[in-house]
Amino acid sequence: MPANGPKRSNLALFDVAAPNRILAAARDDLDWGIAWCCVREGMHPTNVARLTPKNMDEEGWLQWIRVKNAAPRRTLVPEADRARLRIFLALDKPTRKTMWLRMDQLIRRAGFPGGGPRVLRKTFILNELRRFQGRTDVFLLVAQRAGCTVGVVVQHYLDLEQWEAVGKR
């Protein structure tokens, strides 16, 4: 084991069903909320830790400032997820280290090799590439949604293309 702890996975989950399986494996509202923010919205763990009920308005818009580049982000939370997300927003958030450990356990319970919020964030980017597939502005849209650069999205696109080319769908 390395001096700073066990080696953790930093790879995305290419399985299309991964987000739903991971959310279904949540054992409580805290697990579910952390996973939802990372895998559905590509949120950075620091942003997850800072969320409060004030981040979501009455219409269901969740808003935050991306920690890595100060870019404003917002998403309209699906009606089916709003009540549970409001519960999560009211909870005390754990440290990023605790979030990482919870996500590692959650990902394993869902039947995938372990990982943390970064794995979920990368999985989010892959699924956004699938969702916007065929659009000429796919890289810009996904970069905006993920709050990252187009270069990061292009690398994920290349990874996904190679994965699917070898029949790993």
Per-residue buried b or exposed e for 45-80, using 16+ beta carbons within 10 Å of the residue's own CB: bebbbebeeebbeeeeebebebbeeeeebebebeee
pLDDT at 159: 77
For residue range 51-93, what is the model confidence (pLDDT) as tens digits?
999 999 999 999 999 887 888 899 999 999 999 999 999 999 9
6, pLDDT greater than 50: no
Q: What is the mean pLDDT of residues 16-36?
A: 94
